[in-house]
Structure 1
């Protein structure tokens, strides 16, 4: 029996969860190698059986792989590909879990030979906890997992289908987008909310005189609204820089919305304020109703 050889570079929350999910379904039909930055993470990845063998070297993990799964912060991905590229076998497929796609695709389009294929993808799943110890085989279950098809890419269909087949094993709901649309949508539905959650925590930090009393008042609303501010800082700094155009554009629109709310409060325009909250409630309720049977929204 010929085993699939999968290499996960960056065996953290996402990479570890992917390894656990596909190993749970394929068992001995797949052999998974991994790479981590620390000895502690390496030992944890093997102990949890997120991988069969883990290394502190990307090259050692990737050199015999049929499929390479990148799950590091976005700005680390291209340097890693440059590092491992001389050691990859012909026909190897690279996929990734990066939250921004155009940046990586542009770089790899220039970098990869015709015998190495790239299939961009993005699981819309995560937790505020980091590292492989937070990984779960069910992390992607019922979540959206975006598979990128784009006319600018020349990825063969068999390579696309191999990656789709692995993603299906995670229990995720797969949708297809092109590069530009993905980055615009991810900015709106994921990147801006994370930036805003961090800003709310920053607002608390800047009210130094009241911070002790504010903390005592903090309840479920504050906890729920700012939960994602506990996410990995390296990952989110890279996302901001690699999807700058879409993020800046949407931050400017958000500033306009907050400016309108500020003006309504200053002018004591209750009608406008009431409409603001009604529209938000109706829109959110509609979104949840439309998606409840498609994606599990957190």
Structure 2
């Protein structure tokens, strides 16, 4: 089996079009068609279904797509090693984070455990929906997300569609995080109704935050909050909480980190909603050494 044919196949699967794939690969469409016929002959079954709407994958084609992606990614890593002296080998980790503020110690521990002088660590702080997109499109090797229990059914469906798998790290009651300027500071626990007079801060709306709008907390719904502020940066959110009476929702894994900034964490009584911390990856893909090392540190800090 030729690696070139696997690369062609992956491009066709992602473009859903022979013509678009041929343009991106700088090959003629007849040559691309012949390459796919050879690949199908080698596999002994059809991999592609052609129609007026484009190209789709058979069941075997979908399985081959995930394996081929993994093979190509690993070979790219090997090619990168050839170009670098071992002493200057670059450690690379692309990470996408949604709806959680990671402990500073996690990145410090990861950095201290690097065995080479050079590292390229990219962390994308974004929405849950964007994390799923980043991981599925190879823009991030792993994703870290915090979701509530009402979002989980929709999450599982989308993970299946995108060919992703999820691993639970920890679960938690729902907490409310407030700063020293909030009259709720130091309370320990509160009832959902007490939040209505305060400002709710959250990330920009996406599919999952829209689910939140109809979530019931005791006798109220999230959409009942009339004073809301949308901020697209975690550090700006923390700054807002510290300086105003605003609040954010979260889980137990943020308590210690937020406490350093004099932000208190109050358990929300009688709400019936919990939180889950999870990491995701593409199915059937072998994680890099860097990703596995990062996950080890993540589990040490957060796992139940």
TM-score where L is the length of structure 2? 0.24
Larger relative contact order (CA 8 Å, sep ≥ 6): 2
Q: Which has the higher strand share?
A: 2
Q: Which has the higher helix share?
A: 1
